[in-house]
Structure 1
Amino acid sequence: MAKKLGNDYLLWVESATAGTYNLVKGQQTLSVSRDAGSIDTTSKDDSGYGTSAPGLKSLKLSLDAIPNLPDADGYTRLETLCNAAPATPFNVQIRKGGQTGASPADVVFAGSVYGNIASTEFGQNDAVKAKIEFSAAAAPTTDKLA
Protein backbone atom coordinates (compact mmCIF):
# COMPACT_ATOMS: atom_id res chain seq x y z
CA MET A 1 0.00 0.00 0.00
CA ALA A 2 1.46 3.33 -1.05
CA LYS A 3 1.35 6.45 1.06
CA LYS A 4 -1.29 9.00 0.07
CA LEU A 5 -0.30 12.53 -0.99
CA GLY A 6 -2.34 15.51 0.16
CA ASN A 7 -1.83 17.22 -3.21
CA ASP A 8 -4.07 14.56 -4.79
CA TYR A 9 -7.12 15.37 -2.64
CA LEU A 10 -9.18 18.35 -3.83
CA LEU A 11 -12.56 19.92 -3.03
CA TRP A 12 -15.27 19.97 -5.68
CA VAL A 13 -18.51 21.99 -5.36
CA GLU A 14 -21.83 21.00 -6.92
CA SER A 15 -22.77 23.15 -9.91
CA ALA A 16 -26.24 24.53 -10.65
CA THR A 17 -26.82 21.21 -12.44
CA ALA A 18 -27.53 18.68 -9.70
CA GLY A 19 -25.01 15.83 -9.61
CA THR A 20 -22.36 17.76 -11.57
CA TYR A 21 -19.34 19.03 -9.64
CA ASN A 22 -16.65 21.60 -10.43
CA LEU A 23 -13.14 21.86 -9.05
CA VAL A 24 -12.37 24.89 -6.87
CA LYS A 25 -9.10 26.38 -8.18
CA GLY A 26 -6.31 27.70 -5.95
CA GLN A 27 -6.58 25.14 -3.15
CA GLN A 28 -3.86 24.77 -0.55
CA THR A 29 -4.72 22.94 2.68
CA LEU A 30 -7.95 20.95 2.93
CA SER A 31 -8.87 19.23 6.18
CA VAL A 32 -11.72 17.20 7.65
CA SER A 33 -12.19 17.28 11.44
CA ARG A 34 -14.41 14.84 13.28
CA ASP A 35 -15.47 14.93 16.91
CA ALA A 36 -17.88 13.00 19.08
CA GLY A 37 -19.47 14.17 22.26
CA SER A 38 -20.00 11.82 25.16
CA ILE A 39 -22.92 10.90 27.34
CA ASP A 40 -22.12 10.54 31.02
CA THR A 41 -23.37 7.16 32.25
CA THR A 42 -21.61 7.27 35.62
CA SER A 43 -23.47 6.08 38.68
CA LYS A 44 -22.49 5.81 42.33
CA ASP A 45 -21.77 2.09 41.98
CA ASP A 46 -19.08 2.45 39.24
CA SER A 47 -16.25 2.06 41.79
CA GLY A 48 -15.02 5.62 41.47
CA TYR A 49 -14.60 5.52 37.68
CA GLY A 50 -16.51 7.69 35.28
CA THR A 51 -18.24 5.87 32.45
CA SER A 52 -19.60 7.24 29.21
CA ALA A 53 -21.23 6.31 25.94
CA PRO A 54 -20.56 7.92 22.58
CA GLY A 55 -22.70 10.95 21.84
CA LEU A 56 -23.48 12.89 18.71
CA LYS A 57 -20.77 13.27 16.11
CA SER A 58 -19.81 16.56 14.51
CA LEU A 59 -17.91 17.13 11.31
CA LYS A 60 -16.15 20.21 9.94
CA LEU A 61 -14.18 20.86 6.78
CA SER A 62 -11.67 23.66 6.31
CA LEU A 63 -10.12 24.93 3.09
CA ASP A 64 -7.23 27.38 2.74
CA ALA A 65 -7.01 28.81 -0.75
CA ILE A 66 -5.31 31.38 -2.92
CA PRO A 67 -8.26 32.02 -5.25
CA ASN A 68 -7.20 31.54 -8.86
CA LEU A 69 -9.62 33.85 -10.64
CA PRO A 70 -11.56 33.91 -12.83
CA ASP A 71 -13.12 30.66 -11.65
CA ALA A 72 -16.86 31.16 -12.16
CA ASP A 73 -17.78 27.50 -11.69
CA GLY A 74 -15.45 26.84 -8.75
CA TYR A 75 -14.37 29.52 -6.28
CA THR A 76 -16.92 32.15 -7.37
CA ARG A 77 -19.77 29.62 -7.09
CA LEU A 78 -18.46 28.56 -3.68
CA GLU A 79 -18.30 32.22 -2.60
CA THR A 80 -21.91 32.75 -3.73
CA LEU A 81 -23.11 29.66 -1.85
CA CYS A 82 -21.22 30.65 1.32
CA ASN A 83 -22.63 34.19 1.24
CA ALA A 84 -26.26 33.18 0.65
CA ALA A 85 -28.74 34.69 3.11
CA PRO A 86 -30.43 32.84 4.59
CA ALA A 87 -27.75 30.16 4.72
CA THR A 88 -28.60 27.20 2.52
CA PRO A 89 -26.87 23.81 2.50
CA PHE A 90 -25.02 22.72 -0.63
CA ASN A 91 -23.14 19.61 -1.72
CA VAL A 92 -19.38 19.17 -1.85
CA GLN A 93 -17.05 16.30 -2.63
CA ILE A 94 -13.42 15.60 -1.89
CA ARG A 95 -11.84 13.56 -4.66
CA LYS A 96 -8.51 11.84 -4.85
CA GLY A 97 -6.84 11.88 -8.24
CA GLY A 98 -5.96 15.56 -8.38
CA GLN A 99 -7.59 17.82 -10.94
CA THR A 100 -8.84 14.87 -12.97
CA GLY A 101 -10.55 13.10 -10.05
CA ALA A 102 -13.46 11.06 -11.39
CA SER A 103 -16.87 10.65 -9.83
CA PRO A 104 -17.81 8.29 -8.22
CA ALA A 105 -14.55 6.28 -8.33
CA ASP A 106 -12.32 8.95 -6.74
CA VAL A 107 -14.83 10.41 -4.25
CA VAL A 108 -13.55 9.99 -0.69
CA PHE A 109 -15.96 12.46 0.94
CA ALA A 110 -19.40 13.63 -0.13
CA GLY A 111 -21.98 15.51 1.86
CA SER A 112 -24.29 18.44 2.35
CA VAL A 113 -22.66 21.37 4.16
CA TYR A 114 -23.11 24.96 5.20
CA GLY A 115 -20.21 27.18 4.17
CA ASN A 116 -18.65 30.34 5.55
CA ILE A 117 -15.77 32.40 4.22
CA ALA A 118 -14.10 32.82 7.61
CA SER A 119 -11.36 35.19 6.48
CA THR A 120 -9.77 36.87 3.49
CA GLU A 121 -6.20 38.16 3.82
CA PHE A 122 -4.74 40.98 1.75
CA GLY A 123 -1.14 40.90 2.97
CA GLN A 124 1.56 43.23 1.70
CA ASN A 125 3.80 41.45 -0.81
CA ASP A 126 1.63 38.34 -0.55
CA ALA A 127 -1.06 36.54 -2.50
CA VAL A 128 -4.69 37.10 -1.52
CA LYS A 129 -5.73 34.19 0.71
CA ALA A 130 -9.13 32.89 1.77
CA LYS A 131 -10.15 30.48 4.51
CA ILE A 132 -13.44 28.69 4.00
CA GLU A 133 -15.06 26.62 6.74
CA PHE A 134 -17.84 24.10 6.33
CA SER A 135 -20.11 22.41 8.86
CA ALA A 136 -22.18 19.32 8.14
CA ALA A 137 -25.83 19.92 7.26
CA ALA A 138 -26.42 16.15 7.34
CA ALA A 139 -24.44 12.97 7.82
CA PRO A 140 -21.95 12.52 4.96
CA THR A 141 -22.92 10.09 2.22
CA THR A 142 -19.26 9.11 1.70
CA ASP A 143 -16.46 9.43 4.25
CA LYS A 144 -13.36 7.29 3.67
CA LEU A 145 -9.64 7.78 3.06
CA ALA A 146 -9.05 5.76 -0.08
Structure 2
Amino acid sequence: MPGFANPYLIEFPKLGEPSIGYISVTEQSQLVPFAVQRIFWTYYTPESILRGRHAHHLTEQVLVAAAGRITVTTELADGTIELFRLEDPHMGLYVPPQAWHTIQYSHSAVQLVLASVPYQEDDYIRNHDEFKRIWSS
Protein backbone atom coordinates (compact mmCIF):
# COMPACT_ATOMS: atom_id res chain seq x y z
CA MET A 1 0.00 0.00 0.00
CA PRO A 2 1.29 3.50 -0.77
CA GLY A 3 2.48 5.62 2.13
CA PHE A 4 0.47 8.70 3.05
CA ALA A 5 1.09 11.53 5.49
CA ASN A 6 -0.83 11.47 8.76
CA PRO A 7 -3.72 13.94 9.13
CA TYR A 8 -2.49 17.52 9.40
CA LEU A 9 -3.79 21.09 9.32
CA ILE A 10 -3.29 23.32 6.27
CA GLU A 11 -3.36 27.09 6.67
CA PHE A 12 -4.63 28.81 3.54
CA PRO A 13 -3.76 32.47 2.94
CA LYS A 14 -6.17 34.90 4.62
CA LEU A 15 -6.21 37.99 2.44
CA GLY A 16 -8.12 41.14 3.34
CA GLU A 17 -9.06 43.03 6.46
CA PRO A 18 -12.04 43.29 8.81
CA SER A 19 -13.47 46.37 7.08
CA ILE A 20 -13.81 44.64 3.70
CA GLY A 21 -13.75 40.92 4.52
CA TYR A 22 -11.41 38.12 3.54
CA ILE A 23 -10.67 35.68 0.78
CA SER A 24 -8.66 32.47 1.04
CA VAL A 25 -7.31 30.78 -2.05
CA THR A 26 -5.10 27.99 -3.24
CA GLU A 27 -4.13 26.91 -6.71
CA GLN A 28 -3.51 23.35 -7.85
CA SER A 29 -0.55 21.73 -6.10
CA GLN A 30 0.15 24.76 -3.89
CA LEU A 31 -1.21 23.64 -0.51
CA VAL A 32 -3.52 20.74 -1.35
CA PRO A 33 -1.27 17.66 -1.72
CA PHE A 34 -3.27 16.07 -4.57
CA ALA A 35 -5.11 16.95 -7.77
CA VAL A 36 -8.71 17.80 -6.85
CA GLN A 37 -11.16 15.53 -8.70
CA ARG A 38 -14.30 16.13 -6.64
CA ILE A 39 -15.70 18.97 -4.52
CA PHE A 40 -18.71 18.62 -2.24
CA TRP A 41 -20.18 20.34 0.79
CA THR A 42 -22.39 19.41 3.70
CA TYR A 43 -24.72 21.72 5.62
CA TYR A 44 -27.71 21.84 8.03
CA THR A 45 -26.42 18.74 9.82
CA PRO A 46 -28.05 18.47 13.27
CA GLU A 47 -25.50 18.80 16.09
CA SER A 48 -26.57 15.42 17.50
CA ILE A 49 -25.52 13.57 14.32
CA LEU A 50 -22.07 12.06 13.83
CA ARG A 51 -21.09 11.80 10.18
CA GLY A 52 -18.12 10.25 8.49
CA ARG A 53 -17.44 7.06 10.47
CA HIS A 54 -15.42 5.62 7.60
CA ALA A 55 -12.02 5.55 5.93
CA HIS A 56 -11.02 5.16 2.30
CA HIS A 57 -8.86 2.84 0.27
CA LEU A 58 -7.62 5.63 -2.04
CA THR A 59 -9.39 8.96 -1.47
CA GLU A 60 -7.43 11.81 0.07
CA GLN A 61 -9.45 14.78 1.32
CA VAL A 62 -9.07 18.30 2.64
CA LEU A 63 -11.93 19.39 4.91
CA VAL A 64 -12.69 23.09 5.45
CA ALA A 65 -15.28 24.62 7.79
CA ALA A 66 -16.51 27.29 5.37
CA ALA A 67 -18.91 28.38 8.14
CA GLY A 68 -19.56 27.28 11.70
CA ARG A 69 -17.58 24.67 13.64
CA ILE A 70 -16.58 21.16 12.62
CA THR A 71 -14.95 18.73 15.04
CA VAL A 72 -13.07 15.90 13.33
CA THR A 73 -11.68 12.88 15.14
CA THR A 74 -9.15 10.85 13.17
CA GLU A 75 -7.88 7.39 14.04
CA LEU A 76 -4.99 5.58 12.41
CA ALA A 77 -4.75 1.79 12.32
CA ASP A 78 -1.97 1.91 14.94
CA GLY A 79 -4.46 3.43 17.41
CA THR A 80 -3.27 7.05 17.13
CA ILE A 81 -6.29 9.31 17.71
CA GLU A 82 -6.31 13.06 17.06
CA LEU A 83 -9.02 15.67 17.52
CA PHE A 84 -9.18 18.67 15.18
CA ARG A 85 -11.51 21.64 15.64
CA LEU A 86 -12.11 23.53 12.41
CA GLU A 87 -13.84 26.88 12.87
CA ASP A 88 -11.86 29.30 10.73
CA PRO A 89 -12.47 29.17 6.96
CA HIS A 90 -8.78 29.67 6.14
CA MET A 91 -7.84 26.37 7.83
CA GLY A 92 -8.18 22.95 6.25
CA LEU A 93 -7.56 19.42 7.48
CA TYR A 94 -5.81 16.88 5.28
CA VAL A 95 -7.34 13.42 5.78
CA PRO A 96 -5.41 10.57 4.13
CA PRO A 97 -6.98 7.26 3.08
CA GLN A 98 -5.65 5.39 6.09
CA ALA A 99 -7.49 7.62 8.59
CA TRP A 100 -10.84 6.58 10.03
CA HIS A 101 -12.70 9.84 10.59
CA THR A 102 -15.77 10.91 12.50
CA ILE A 103 -17.23 14.39 12.14
CA GLN A 104 -19.61 16.46 14.28
CA TYR A 105 -20.98 19.82 13.16
CA SER A 106 -22.46 22.91 14.72
CA HIS A 107 -25.93 23.44 13.22
CA SER A 108 -24.72 26.39 11.15
CA ALA A 109 -21.65 24.57 9.82
CA VAL A 110 -20.93 24.34 6.12
CA GLN A 111 -18.18 21.86 5.32
CA LEU A 112 -16.33 22.10 2.02
CA VAL A 113 -14.47 18.96 0.95
CA LEU A 114 -11.79 18.68 -1.72
CA ALA A 115 -11.28 15.05 -2.76
CA SER A 116 -8.60 13.35 -4.82
CA VAL A 117 -10.90 10.99 -6.76
CA PRO A 118 -14.49 10.98 -8.05
CA TYR A 119 -17.06 9.27 -5.83
CA GLN A 120 -16.79 5.47 -5.82
CA GLU A 121 -18.75 3.54 -3.21
CA ASP A 122 -16.25 0.68 -3.24
CA ASP A 123 -13.53 3.11 -2.06
CA TYR A 124 -15.29 3.48 1.31
CA ILE A 125 -14.38 1.32 4.30
CA ARG A 126 -17.47 1.57 6.49
CA ASN A 127 -16.65 -1.22 8.96
CA HIS A 128 -14.15 -0.27 11.67
CA ASP A 129 -12.77 -3.82 12.04
CA GLU A 130 -12.19 -4.01 8.29
CA PHE A 131 -10.41 -0.63 8.44
CA LYS A 132 -8.05 -1.96 11.14
CA ARG A 133 -7.41 -5.17 9.18
CA ILE A 134 -6.66 -3.38 5.88
CA TRP A 135 -4.48 -0.58 7.20
CA SER A 136 -2.66 -2.52 9.91
CA SER A 137 -0.89 -4.69 7.36
Shorter-chain TM-score range: under 0.3
Q: Which has the larger radius of gyration?
A: 1
TM-score, normalization by structure 1: 0.24
- Asked which structure has the greater RCO (Cα within 8 Å, sep 6+), the reply is 2
